[in-house]
Amino acid sequence: MTEFQNQIQKIFVDETSLKLPLSQKILKKLNSIPVQVVKNEEEVIKRYLALKDSIGEGKKSLWLKSLKGDFVKPCPCTPYYLGCNYYIMNTDLNCPMDCSYCILQHYLDNPLMIIHVNTDDLWEQLDKFLFKQRNRFIRIGTGELGDSLALDPITERSKELIAYFRGKKRVNFELKTKSLNIDNIMSEEPSENIITAWSLNTELMAEKEEKGAPPVRDRIEAAFEVQNRGFRVAFHFDPLILYPGWEKGYEAVIKRLFSRIDPSRIAWISLGSLRFPKQLKSLIRKRFPSTKIIYQEMIKGIDGKLRYFKPLRIKLYQKIVKAIHSYGNEKVPLYFCMESKEIWKKVLNKEPGSKEEVEAFLSLLPGFESTIK
Amino acid sequence: MQNMKFTQINIDQIDTADKRFQISPYFSVDSLIPSIKKSGLLNPPVLTKREQKYIIVSGWRRITACQKLSVPLIPVFVMPGESDLEAFKIPVYENLSIREYSQIEKAAVIRKFYDFGEEPENIIKKYMSLLKIPPKREVMEVYLNIDGLKENIKKTAHQKNWSLGMLEIMTELAPEEAQAFYPFMEPLSLNKQKQLIENLFDISRKQDVSVQNLLNSGELLRIQDDKGLNPFQKAEKIYMLSKKLKNPTFNTWRKAFEELSQSLDLPEDMKVIPSKFFEGDTITIKLDIKNQEELKKHIRKLKELSERKEISLLFNPFSHD
């Protein structure tokens, strides 16, 4: 288990959310940590923003609050590139791990780790959302603006989510993590539509660029256990990073992955290369002065984000796909996160016409054939 | 203006060496002199007294213009003996009501508030928002560092209106590194200055060498030593080389595309343009057409081109990688 709760030094609770069951559960579990009841949200945020490393400091504090807006949103993806029609659930925001490349450093205005505790609203909103979308497949997950399992030992959210989604055959629900916190999942009965996914990188990149995250081999072991329990698993090679020795590094991880994981139980593997808005670059320089990953050959993509020059991306993806095909097999569904149709064609020899087609391809249960050309 | 005393004083009584409240030394009085000549000083500067001497709180430009015109007596407001922190708020707000601050001036304002003892939390909450700066501690630290840059760099940055991003990189360089850029900055346009700073910074960090060592080696050094080049030509060449060194693969492909399009022997008024950074999968053919005859001529040329084998490489310049 990865005990991120040990790094929490302070808990904030919104006055209006104090009595909610999830707040009470968390406060009971973390009863030795000082608690402050929040009446003025802005004051707390301003206080953190006035700290020298507000992002780093925010990772030591937990904020229990109610989400006033929508829990379920379409994944923002990126303009001009091909999306996958994924939906995100903003149950928790931010993450106790501190990856140098993390977009959340730039994306979130509030540096604290937030747990949205108004669970009743979540179920109500999910019911309405799934009813509206009842005629299509849905891929939905909690790991976009936070890690799905990092704080699961204190929230036990995964158990409730698994219970909610179990049996909803048109919905593939994904928990996405870098952590090893699988105890709650292991205690649940498996279901084909519940997928636990791990973000993977090379061991070297994990050690250098993913501060606080467990080694990749341990993540693969956690996936092995979850798969043995009867769940399907997924993997995200994102961000793929170019560095001297990347070819051997990724090959080693893929080799290890398929030495432990049954390819037929992999729901999908996504590939995405390092990309970030330009504004994040200076933040990375300051927070991670020894990193070199931001100095590789990058161009400004059509979406305005910095990304590797296309031939470099193609080479990177081709090597990874070749390794997956060689150590695993060619049936594992692969897809790109935020890439062009041209890359799909050149690397995977697939031509999805739209994000709906990508979604349909990834929503297939084992044994079905893809409709993508 | 309450508690301020309006009076006239002899301009020689002002200690202009004390610049504690000065936000920017980079001003010109040329446009103000004719106005003072015609109508006198209509807007009195604000002074205060420190150790029996009058010092300027606000009105550096006006006082400098009057000095140039040898105006003996000038109207002024004299502030009571407020703290430096309180007095400094006068020029900050006054200037804000008139114009936008440059990044260098913003840095000076933040530095002075900090040095006058204002709490960092107050600087962030009150003044950074006022200066249209994101109210974050990390950003405040950047501005404090910007104020510490060497004077010649600050002057160029103010005059050329450098962005925060450019200045941020300068603060992350060792002072000698920042200085090493300087000779190549002046002749370049703002956009090229920005790219040169970013390119050389990234290359030096990737290769783990200082910017001066980078500039003092290989082709970059040869350009500097080339006696046949003037400073502008040197700066341009160094800028172009920095682009190549920063993006070698892109540069190779750009060159390959250029060679391919040249081999097509196109008329001068027909151009083949790749997508930006080759990121898209289309090419653009640009035609300059004056009349119907030219249109027909171009259509014939396009038809001929469409039959040629080389044209397919333009659509897929990476295929022979």
Please check whether residue A90 is in contact with residue A148, taking contact to mean a CB–CB distance below 8 angstroms: no
According to the model, what pLDDT value does residue A1 have? 65
Q: How far apart are CA A75 and CA B297, in angstroms?
A: 50
Inside any domain, residue A251: yes
The first and second tokens of residue B226, run together, are 């080339």
**Ranges in chain B, pLDDT < 70:** 1-2, 317-321
Pick B124's closest partner by Cβ from A50, A297, A309: A50
Q: Which residues of A touch B252 (CB under 8 A)?
A: none
- Residue A49 resides in a domain: no
Residue A200 counted as domain residue: yes
CB contact under 8 A, B165 and A295: no
**In this complex, do B277 and A310 lie within 8 Å of one another by their Cβ atoms?**
yes
Span B119-148, pLDDT tens digits = 999 999 999 999 999 999 999 999 999 999
In a domain, A372, yes or no: no
How many structural domains is chain A composed of?
A: 1
Specify if A87 maps to a domain.
Answer: yes
Q: How far apart are CA A119 and CA A65, in angstroms?
A: 11
A222 CB-near residues (< 8 Å, 6+ apart) = A179, A180, A182, A198
> How many alpha carbons fall within 13 Å on the CB side of residue B140?
26
Taking an 8 Å cut-off on Cβ atoms, the answer to whether A295 and B203 are in contact is yes
Contact B90, B24 (CB under 8 A): no
- With respect to residue A21, please indicate whether it lies within any of the assigned structural domains: no
Q: Which CATH number is A170's domain given?
A: 3.80.30.30
CB A59 within 8 A of CB A98: yes
Digit-coded pLDDT (tens) for A276-312: 999 999 999 999 999 999 999 999 998 999 999 999 9
Q: Is residue A327 part of a domain?
A: yes
Residue of chain B minimizing CA distance to A296: B206
pLDDT tens for A166-219 read 989 889 999 999 999 999 999 999 999 999 999 999 999 999 999 999 999 999
Please, how many CA atoms are within 13 Å of residue B129, restricted to the half-sphere of its CB? Answer: 8
- Rounded CA gap, A82 and A206, in Å? 27
A64 neighbors A115 (Cβ within 8 angstroms): yes
A26 occurs within a structural domain:
no
B267 touches chain A (CB under 8 A): no
pLDDT in tens, A207-265: 999 999 999 999 999 999 999 999 999 999 999 999 999 999 999 999 999 999 999 99
Residues 6+ positions from B97 with CB-CB distance below 8 Å = none
Strand arrangement, sheet containing A298-300: A275-276, A306-308, A298-300
Cα→Cα distances A325→A255, A347, A348, Å? 11, 12, 11
> In terms of residue numbers, what domain contains A131?
68-362
**In which region does residue B230 sit, left (phi positive, over 0), alpha (psi from -120 to 50) or beta (all else)?**
beta
Q: Is B250 on the interface with A (CB under 8 A)?
A: yes
Q: Residue B169: its chain A contacts at CB < 8 A?
A: 282
Looking at residue B60, its pLDDT comes to 95
